[in-house]
Protein backbone atom coordinates (compact mmCIF):
# COMPACT_ATOMS: atom_id res chain seq x y z
CA UNK A 1 0.00 0.00 0.00
CA UNK A 2 1.21 3.45 -0.89
CA UNK A 3 0.44 7.01 0.05
CA UNK A 4 0.68 9.74 -2.58
CA UNK A 5 1.04 13.39 -1.69
CA UNK A 6 0.91 16.69 -3.51
CA UNK A 7 1.58 20.09 -1.95
CA UNK A 8 2.28 18.28 1.33
CA UNK A 9 -1.23 16.77 1.30
CA UNK A 10 -1.26 12.92 1.54
CA UNK A 11 -3.78 10.75 -0.34
CA UNK A 12 -4.39 7.02 -0.01
CA UNK A 13 -3.38 4.43 0.84
CA UNK A 14 -3.59 2.75 -2.57
CA UNK A 15 -2.61 -0.71 -3.65
CA UNK A 16 -0.16 -1.08 -6.53
CA UNK A 17 -2.95 -1.97 -8.97
CA UNK A 18 -5.10 0.99 -7.95
CA UNK A 19 -2.06 3.26 -8.18
CA UNK A 20 -1.37 1.99 -11.71
CA UNK A 21 -5.01 2.52 -12.71
CA UNK A 22 -4.94 6.11 -11.47
CA UNK A 23 -1.72 6.73 -13.42
CA UNK A 24 -3.29 5.33 -16.59
CA UNK A 25 -6.27 7.65 -16.12
CA UNK A 26 -3.99 10.63 -15.57
CA UNK A 27 -5.30 11.25 -12.06
CA UNK A 28 -1.89 10.52 -10.53
CA UNK A 29 1.42 11.32 -12.22
CA UNK A 30 4.52 9.18 -12.34
CA UNK A 31 6.50 12.09 -10.86
CA UNK A 32 4.18 12.51 -7.87
CA UNK A 33 5.83 11.84 -4.54
CA UNK A 34 4.85 8.62 -2.76
CA UNK A 35 5.92 6.38 0.09
CA UNK A 36 5.01 2.87 1.32
CA UNK A 37 2.59 2.76 4.24
CA UNK A 38 5.06 0.55 6.10
CA UNK A 39 8.08 2.86 5.66
CA UNK A 40 6.88 6.49 5.44
CA UNK A 41 10.45 7.77 5.52
CA UNK A 42 11.17 6.14 2.13
CA UNK A 43 9.87 8.93 -0.09
CA UNK A 44 10.23 8.29 -3.83
CA UNK A 45 8.20 8.89 -6.97
CA UNK A 46 5.13 6.93 -7.99
CA UNK A 47 7.01 5.80 -11.09
CA UNK A 48 9.78 4.35 -8.94
CA UNK A 49 7.41 2.19 -6.89
CA UNK A 50 5.56 1.01 -9.98
CA UNK A 51 8.84 0.04 -11.59
CA UNK A 52 10.16 -1.97 -8.63
CA UNK A 53 6.76 -3.65 -8.42
CA UNK A 54 7.07 -4.69 -12.05
CA UNK A 55 3.86 -2.89 -12.96
CA UNK A 56 3.76 -1.37 -16.44
CA UNK A 57 1.35 1.42 -17.14
CA UNK A 58 0.23 2.99 -20.38
CA UNK A 59 -1.53 6.34 -20.11
CA UNK A 60 -4.82 6.31 -21.96
CA UNK A 61 -5.63 8.88 -24.64
CA UNK A 62 -9.03 10.46 -24.40
CA UNK A 63 -10.20 10.21 -27.98
CA UNK A 64 -8.69 11.79 -31.07
CA UNK A 65 -6.79 15.10 -31.18
CA UNK A 66 -9.94 16.91 -32.29
CA UNK A 67 -12.01 15.43 -29.44
CA UNK A 68 -9.31 16.36 -26.97
CA UNK A 69 -9.24 19.93 -28.28
CA UNK A 70 -13.01 20.09 -27.97
CA UNK A 71 -12.83 19.01 -24.33
CA UNK A 72 -9.93 21.38 -23.65
CA UNK A 73 -12.04 24.25 -24.88
CA UNK A 74 -11.26 27.49 -26.64
CA UNK A 75 -10.70 29.42 -23.42
CA UNK A 76 -7.43 27.58 -22.70
CA UNK A 77 -6.07 28.49 -26.16
CA UNK A 78 -7.47 32.02 -26.52
CA UNK A 79 -8.24 33.39 -23.04
CA UNK A 80 -10.88 36.10 -22.86
CA UNK A 81 -8.46 38.08 -20.70
CA UNK A 82 -6.37 39.02 -23.75
CA UNK A 83 -9.25 41.24 -24.89
CA UNK A 84 -9.66 42.88 -21.48
CA UNK A 85 -7.37 45.80 -20.68
CA UNK A 86 -8.34 45.54 -17.01
CA UNK A 87 -7.30 41.89 -16.81
CA UNK A 88 -4.06 42.52 -18.68
CA UNK A 89 -3.04 45.36 -16.37
CA UNK A 90 -3.56 43.23 -13.26
CA UNK A 91 -0.18 41.66 -13.92
CA UNK A 92 1.81 43.79 -16.35
CA UNK A 93 5.22 42.16 -15.78
CA UNK A 94 5.34 40.55 -19.22
CA UNK A 95 4.21 43.80 -20.83
CA UNK A 96 7.16 45.61 -19.28
CA UNK A 97 9.45 42.83 -20.44
CA UNK A 98 7.91 43.13 -23.90
CA UNK A 99 8.55 46.85 -23.90
CA UNK A 100 12.14 46.20 -22.93
CA UNK A 101 12.70 43.33 -25.34
CA UNK A 102 10.77 44.47 -28.41
CA UNK A 103 11.55 48.18 -28.45
CA UNK A 104 14.70 47.77 -30.61
CA UNK A 105 12.75 45.78 -33.21
CA UNK A 106 10.00 48.41 -33.41
CA UNK A 107 12.51 51.27 -33.49
CA UNK A 108 14.50 49.66 -36.29
CA UNK A 109 11.32 48.88 -38.20
CA UNK A 110 10.04 52.45 -37.89
CA UNK A 111 13.27 54.33 -38.61
CA UNK A 112 15.40 51.95 -40.70
CA UNK A 113 15.04 54.21 -43.76
CA UNK A 114 17.09 56.92 -42.00
CA UNK A 115 20.28 55.41 -40.50
CA UNK A 116 21.10 58.51 -38.42
CA UNK A 117 17.72 58.43 -36.67
CA UNK A 118 17.96 54.64 -36.27
CA UNK A 119 21.34 54.90 -34.55
CA UNK A 120 20.06 57.70 -32.35
CA UNK A 121 16.85 56.03 -31.18
CA UNK A 122 18.65 52.75 -30.49
CA UNK A 123 21.23 54.69 -28.47
CA UNK A 124 18.37 56.31 -26.58
CA UNK A 125 16.98 52.85 -25.86
CA UNK A 126 20.22 51.68 -24.25
CA UNK A 127 20.72 54.98 -22.44
CA UNK A 128 17.22 54.65 -20.98
CA UNK A 129 18.15 51.24 -19.58
CA UNK A 130 21.32 52.69 -18.04
CA UNK A 131 19.28 55.61 -16.72
CA UNK A 132 16.85 53.28 -14.97
CA UNK A 133 19.74 51.44 -13.32
CA UNK A 134 21.27 54.72 -12.14
CA UNK A 135 17.89 55.95 -10.94
CA UNK A 136 17.41 52.78 -8.90
CA UNK A 137 20.88 52.79 -7.29
CA UNK A 138 21.66 56.50 -6.92
CA UNK A 139 18.34 58.35 -6.70
CA UNK A 140 17.97 60.68 -3.73
CA UNK A 141 15.01 62.86 -2.66
CA UNK A 142 16.80 65.77 -4.36
CA UNK A 143 16.77 64.09 -7.77
CA UNK A 144 14.13 65.57 -10.03
CA UNK A 145 12.85 63.69 -13.09
CA UNK A 146 12.26 66.84 -15.15
CA UNK A 147 15.75 68.08 -14.37
CA UNK A 148 17.17 64.71 -15.37
CA UNK A 149 15.39 64.70 -18.74
CA UNK A 150 16.28 68.34 -19.39
CA UNK A 151 19.93 67.63 -18.56
CA UNK A 152 20.00 64.61 -20.85
CA UNK A 153 18.75 66.36 -23.97
CA UNK A 154 20.25 69.80 -23.30
CA UNK A 155 23.74 68.33 -23.01
CA UNK A 156 23.36 66.56 -26.34
CA UNK A 157 22.24 69.81 -27.99
CA UNK A 158 25.16 71.65 -26.38
CA UNK A 159 27.72 69.07 -27.50
CA UNK A 160 26.23 68.93 -31.00
CA UNK A 161 26.52 72.72 -31.24
CA UNK A 162 30.08 72.89 -29.93
CA UNK A 163 31.49 69.83 -31.69
CA UNK A 164 29.57 69.62 -34.97
CA UNK A 165 28.59 73.23 -35.68
CA UNK A 166 31.41 75.21 -34.08
CA UNK A 167 33.95 72.41 -34.73
CA UNK A 168 35.75 72.92 -31.42
CA UNK A 169 38.39 70.19 -32.04
CA UNK A 170 39.52 72.11 -35.15
CA UNK A 171 40.23 75.34 -33.29
CA UNK A 172 43.91 76.44 -33.19
CA UNK A 173 45.70 75.06 -30.16
CA UNK A 174 42.99 72.48 -29.50
CA UNK A 175 43.64 71.05 -32.94
CA UNK A 176 47.30 70.64 -32.01
CA UNK A 177 46.39 68.69 -28.89
CA UNK A 178 44.07 66.45 -30.93
CA UNK A 179 46.83 65.77 -33.44
CA UNK A 180 49.10 64.62 -30.62
CA UNK A 181 46.75 61.64 -30.15
CA UNK A 182 48.11 60.26 -33.45
CA UNK A 183 51.73 60.53 -32.31
CA UNK A 184 53.93 57.43 -32.12
CA UNK A 185 55.38 58.77 -28.87
CA UNK A 186 53.45 57.41 -25.90
CA UNK A 187 54.03 60.51 -23.69
CA UNK A 188 52.87 62.84 -26.49
CA UNK A 189 49.87 60.66 -27.27
CA UNK A 190 48.96 60.56 -23.58
CA UNK A 191 49.25 64.34 -23.35
CA UNK A 192 46.97 64.72 -26.37
CA UNK A 193 44.35 62.38 -24.98
CA UNK A 194 44.39 63.97 -21.50
CA UNK A 195 44.61 67.69 -22.33
CA UNK A 196 42.82 67.50 -25.66
CA UNK A 197 40.18 64.79 -25.73
CA UNK A 198 39.79 64.12 -22.01
CA UNK A 199 39.82 67.68 -20.74
CA UNK A 200 37.35 68.99 -23.34
CA UNK A 201 34.91 66.11 -23.07
CA UNK A 202 34.90 66.00 -19.28
CA UNK A 203 34.49 69.78 -19.10
CA UNK A 204 31.53 69.55 -21.49
CA UNK A 205 29.87 66.88 -19.33
CA UNK A 206 30.40 69.03 -16.24
CA UNK A 207 28.60 72.07 -17.73
CA UNK A 208 25.04 70.90 -16.90
CA UNK A 209 26.14 69.96 -13.38
CA UNK A 210 27.45 73.48 -12.82
CA UNK A 211 24.17 74.91 -14.13
CA UNK A 212 22.20 72.67 -11.76
CA UNK A 213 24.13 73.82 -8.68
CA UNK A 214 23.90 77.46 -9.79
CA UNK A 215 20.11 77.17 -9.84
CA UNK A 216 19.93 75.06 -6.66
CA UNK A 217 17.45 76.02 -3.95
CA UNK A 218 19.19 73.81 -1.42
CA UNK A 219 22.70 72.33 -1.06
CA UNK A 220 23.08 69.16 -3.12
CA UNK A 221 24.50 66.13 -1.35
CA UNK A 222 27.30 64.37 -3.29
CA UNK A 223 25.16 61.37 -4.28
CA UNK A 224 22.60 63.65 -5.96
CA UNK A 225 25.22 65.26 -8.18
CA UNK A 226 26.83 61.89 -8.82
CA UNK A 227 23.48 60.77 -10.24
CA UNK A 228 23.22 63.86 -12.45
CA UNK A 229 26.83 63.29 -13.49
CA UNK A 230 26.04 59.71 -14.48
CA UNK A 231 23.15 60.94 -16.61
CA UNK A 232 25.30 63.64 -18.18
CA UNK A 233 27.88 61.01 -19.11
CA UNK A 234 25.22 58.76 -20.64
CA UNK A 235 23.93 61.71 -22.68
CA UNK A 236 27.41 62.42 -24.00
CA UNK A 237 27.88 58.71 -24.73
CA UNK A 238 24.72 58.74 -26.87
CA UNK A 239 26.01 61.68 -28.93
CA UNK A 240 29.49 60.23 -29.35
CA UNK A 241 28.15 56.74 -30.10
CA UNK A 242 25.94 57.96 -32.94
CA UNK A 243 28.76 60.09 -34.30
CA UNK A 244 31.18 57.17 -34.39
CA UNK A 245 28.60 54.78 -35.84
CA UNK A 246 27.95 57.18 -38.71
CA UNK A 247 31.63 57.89 -39.42
CA UNK A 248 34.55 55.91 -37.99
CA UNK A 249 32.76 52.57 -37.57
CA UNK A 250 31.57 52.54 -41.19
CA UNK A 251 35.19 52.30 -42.32
CA UNK A 252 35.94 49.20 -40.26
CA UNK A 253 35.62 45.60 -41.38
CA UNK A 254 32.36 43.83 -40.53
CA UNK A 255 33.54 42.15 -37.32
CA UNK A 256 35.30 45.24 -35.95
CA UNK A 257 32.34 47.48 -36.82
CA UNK A 258 29.96 45.09 -35.06
CA UNK A 259 32.03 44.97 -31.88
CA UNK A 260 32.57 48.73 -31.82
CA UNK A 261 28.88 49.44 -32.42
CA UNK A 262 27.99 47.21 -29.47
CA UNK A 263 30.63 48.92 -27.32
CA UNK A 264 29.32 52.35 -28.32
CA UNK A 265 25.86 51.35 -27.11
CA UNK A 266 26.84 49.65 -23.86
CA UNK A 267 30.24 49.85 -22.16
CA UNK A 268 31.56 53.16 -23.49
CA UNK A 269 28.50 55.25 -22.47
CA UNK A 270 28.77 53.60 -19.07
CA UNK A 271 32.42 54.70 -18.81
CA UNK A 272 31.51 58.26 -19.78
CA UNK A 273 28.86 58.12 -17.06
CA UNK A 274 31.30 56.95 -14.38
CA UNK A 275 33.83 59.66 -15.23
CA UNK A 276 31.15 62.35 -15.16
CA UNK A 277 29.90 60.87 -11.87
CA UNK A 278 33.35 61.53 -10.40
CA UNK A 279 33.06 65.15 -11.60
CA UNK A 280 29.65 65.42 -9.95
CA UNK A 281 31.11 64.19 -6.67
CA UNK A 282 33.75 66.94 -6.51
CA UNK A 283 31.39 69.65 -7.80
CA UNK A 284 29.06 68.78 -4.92
CA UNK A 285 31.88 69.27 -2.40
CA UNK A 286 32.96 72.50 -4.10
CA UNK A 287 29.51 73.93 -3.42
CA UNK A 288 29.17 72.48 0.07
CA UNK A 289 32.58 73.91 1.08
CA UNK A 290 33.12 76.99 -1.13
CA UNK A 291 36.41 78.00 0.52
CA UNK A 292 37.94 74.96 -1.20
CA UNK A 293 36.08 75.43 -4.47
CA UNK A 294 39.09 76.27 -6.66
CA UNK A 295 40.87 73.01 -5.92
CA UNK A 296 37.65 70.94 -5.89
CA UNK A 297 36.47 72.33 -9.23
CA UNK A 298 39.90 71.58 -10.66
CA UNK A 299 39.77 68.02 -9.36
CA UNK A 300 36.25 67.62 -10.82
CA UNK A 301 37.69 68.04 -14.31
CA UNK A 302 41.30 66.90 -14.02
CA UNK A 303 40.71 63.50 -12.38
CA UNK A 304 38.13 62.31 -14.96
CA UNK A 305 40.20 63.84 -17.78
CA UNK A 306 43.34 62.00 -16.61
CA UNK A 307 41.53 58.65 -16.36
CA UNK A 308 39.79 59.30 -19.69
CA UNK A 309 43.05 60.16 -21.46
CA UNK A 310 44.91 57.23 -19.96
CA UNK A 311 42.13 54.86 -21.04
CA UNK A 312 42.15 56.24 -24.60
CA UNK A 313 45.92 55.73 -24.72
CA UNK A 314 45.80 52.15 -23.43
CA UNK A 315 42.73 51.21 -25.48
CA UNK A 316 41.32 47.69 -25.20
CA UNK A 317 44.50 46.22 -23.71
CA UNK A 318 44.43 44.38 -20.39
CA UNK A 319 45.72 47.52 -18.67
CA UNK A 320 43.01 49.57 -20.36
CA UNK A 321 40.29 47.19 -19.21
CA UNK A 322 41.69 47.13 -15.67
CA UNK A 323 41.59 50.92 -15.73
CA UNK A 324 37.88 50.84 -16.56
CA UNK A 325 37.28 48.68 -13.50
CA UNK A 326 39.42 51.00 -11.41
CA UNK A 327 37.21 53.92 -12.51
CA UNK A 328 34.17 52.21 -11.02
CA UNK A 329 36.00 51.27 -7.82
CA UNK A 330 37.25 54.85 -7.50
CA UNK A 331 33.72 56.28 -7.71
CA UNK A 332 32.50 53.69 -5.19
CA UNK A 333 35.32 54.66 -2.82
CA UNK A 334 34.53 58.34 -3.17
CA UNK A 335 30.90 57.75 -2.23
CA UNK A 336 31.87 55.50 0.66
CA UNK A 337 34.21 58.05 2.22
CA UNK A 338 31.88 60.99 1.57
CA UNK A 339 30.76 61.46 5.17
CA UNK A 340 34.27 61.42 6.64
CA UNK A 341 35.44 63.72 3.84
CA UNK A 342 32.71 66.24 4.74
CA UNK A 343 33.81 66.13 8.37
CA UNK A 344 37.36 66.95 7.35
CA UNK A 345 36.42 69.89 5.13
CA UNK A 346 34.04 71.37 7.71
CA UNK A 347 36.83 71.94 10.24
Q: What are φ and ψ of residue 92, in 5° steps?
A: -95, 15
Same domain, 46 and 107: no
13 exposure class (CB count in 10 Å sphere: 0-12, 13-18, 19+): middle
Does residue 77 form part of some domain?
Answer: no
Q: Is the pLDDT of residue 181 over 90?
A: yes
Task: Among 15, 45, 60, give the residue marking a domain's end.
Answer: 60
Q: Is the pLDDT of residue 343 over 90?
A: no
Same domain, 22 and 171: no
266 exposure class (CB count in 10 Å sphere: 0-12, 13-18, 19+): middle
| Angle CA 220–221–226, to nearest 5 | 95
Same domain, 170 and 229: yes
Residue 11 sits in a domain whose CATH number is 3.30.1490
Same domain, 56 and 102: no
The per-residue pLDDT for 220 is 92
Give pLDDT tens digits for 99-150: 778 888 888 888 878 888 888 888 989 998 999 899 998 889 999 999 999 9
Q: Which domain holds residue 186?
A: 93-345
Same domain, 17 and 134: no
The per-residue pLDDT for 82 is 67
Same domain, 34 and 152: no
Q: Is the pLDDT of residue 190 over 80?
A: yes
Q: CA 182 to CA 154: how far, in whole Å? A: 31
The per-residue pLDDT for 347 is 67
Give pLDDT tens digits for 230-262: 999 999 999 998 888 888 888 889 888 888 888
Does residue 78 form part of some domain?
Answer: no
Q: What are φ and ψ of residue 160, in 5° steps?
A: -60, -40
Does residue 69 form part of some domain?
Answer: no
Q: Is the pLDDT of residue 283 over 70?
A: yes
Domain count, the chain: 2
Q: How confident is the model at residue 321 (pLDDT cuts 50, 70, 90)?
A: very high
Does residue 80 form part of some domain?
Answer: no
Q: Is the pLDDT of residue 199 over 70?
A: yes
Q: Is the pLDDT of residue 342 over 80?
A: no
Does residue 13 form part of some domain?
Answer: yes
Same domain, 304 and 233: yes
Q: CA 170 to CA 161: how far, in whole Å? A: 14
In sequence order, what are the residues at sequence separation of 6 or more whose Cβ sits closer than 8 angstroms to the Cβ of residue 47? 30, 31
Does residue 122 form part of some domain?
Answer: yes
Same domain, 47 and 111: no
Q: What percent of the chain has pLDDT over 90?
A: 45
Same domain, 47 and 168: no
Does residue 76 form part of some domain?
Answer: no
Same domain, 29 and 144: no
Same domain, 128 and 34: no
Does residue 75 form part of some domain?
Answer: no
Same domain, 53 and 156: no
Average pLDDT, the chain: 88
Q: How many residues does the chain have?
A: 347
Task: Among 60, 82, 105, give the residue marking a domain's end.
Answer: 60
Give pLDDT tens digits for 28-82: 888 889 999 889 889 899 889 888 888 888 887 877 888 878 877 777 777 776 6
Amino acid sequence: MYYVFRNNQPFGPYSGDVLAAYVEDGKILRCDKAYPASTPQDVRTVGYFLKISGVKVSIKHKGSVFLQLKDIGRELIIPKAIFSRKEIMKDSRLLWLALLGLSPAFLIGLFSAVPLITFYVISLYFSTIWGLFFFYFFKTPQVNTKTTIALFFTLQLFVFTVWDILHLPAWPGINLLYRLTESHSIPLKLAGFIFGVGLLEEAAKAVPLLLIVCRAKEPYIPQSLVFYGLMSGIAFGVFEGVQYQMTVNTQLDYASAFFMNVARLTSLPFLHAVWAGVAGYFIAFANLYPKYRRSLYSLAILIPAAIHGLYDTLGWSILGLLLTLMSVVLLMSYLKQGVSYQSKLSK
